[in-house]
Amino acid sequence: MVYFGIILGCLLGAILGMHAPVISYTYSSYLSIAIIAALDSVFGGIASVIKKNFDIKIFLTGFFGNAILSILLTILGNKLNVDIYLAAIVVFVGRMFTNLAIIRRYYVEVWSNKIASLKEKKENETDSNTTE
């Protein structure tokens, strides 16, 4: 159910995005920062699901709040003539990597557990076979 909703949203979003008009290059840089922030929130959400402390409120506020904040910071950086968006990218991408590492570790663990259990089963089967 949840996966179905996500996939449907992705498909509709892809269709809309492909038909959306091209935006100005100036705003495109703000949009890219927002995308990075949103992606960071998504990976953070997945990691929190794995950690079993996922909260939809935190996810939603993180998703939109981070995006908007990063845009505002970039605008401020432009006004101050400081490349704040670089700091935002470093922070967000760094967090994305840590979250991805958490996800990777979890699935590797799951896989290794599965394989171990399969092996155990097999061994048990062979054991039972030999005992028979």
Partner 1 sequence: MKTKMALSIILGLVSFVLVAIMFTQFKTVEQTDITAIETMREAELRTELTSWKAKYDEVQEKVDDTKNKIAEYETQLNSSQNTSDVINNEIKDYERFLGYTKVTGQGIEITLSDSEDKLIESLDLLKLVNELKSAGAEAISINDERIVTNSDIVSVNNRLILVNSRKLSSPYVVKAIGDKKYLESAIIIKGGYIDSIKAAEKAIDYVLKDDILIDSYKEEIKMDYSKEVEDND
76 binds partner 1 (CB under 8 A): no
Which of 57, 62, 70, 31 lies closest to 44 in space, CA to CA? 62
* Interaction between residue 48 and partner 1 (CB under 8 A): no
Whether the CB-CB separation of 43 and 100 falls below 8 Å is answered with yes
Please choose, out of 27-35, 84-92, 98-106, 120-128, the segment that lies near partner 1 by the rule CB under 8 A.
Answer: 27-35
Among 16, 53, 80, 132, binds partner 1 (CB under 8 A): 16
Residues 91 and 85: their CA atoms lie apart, in Å, by: 10
Q: Are 47 and 104 in contact (CB under 8 A)?
A: no
Phi-psi region of 81 (alpha: psi -120 to 50; beta: other; left: phi over 0): left
- Residue among 35, 53, 46, 51 at smallest CA distance from 93: 35
Interface region with partner 1, contact rule CB under 8 A, candidates 57-65, 68-76, 99-107, 124-132: 57-65
| 38 contributes a contact to partner 1 by CB under 8 A | yes
24 interacts with partner 1 by CB under 8 A: yes
Does 60 sit near partner 1 (CB under 8 A)?
A: yes
Binding residues (CB under 8 A) for partner 1: these are 1-2, 4-6, 8-10, 12-14, 16-18, 20, 22-26, 28-29, 31-32, 34-35, 38-39, 42, 56, 59-60, 63, 78
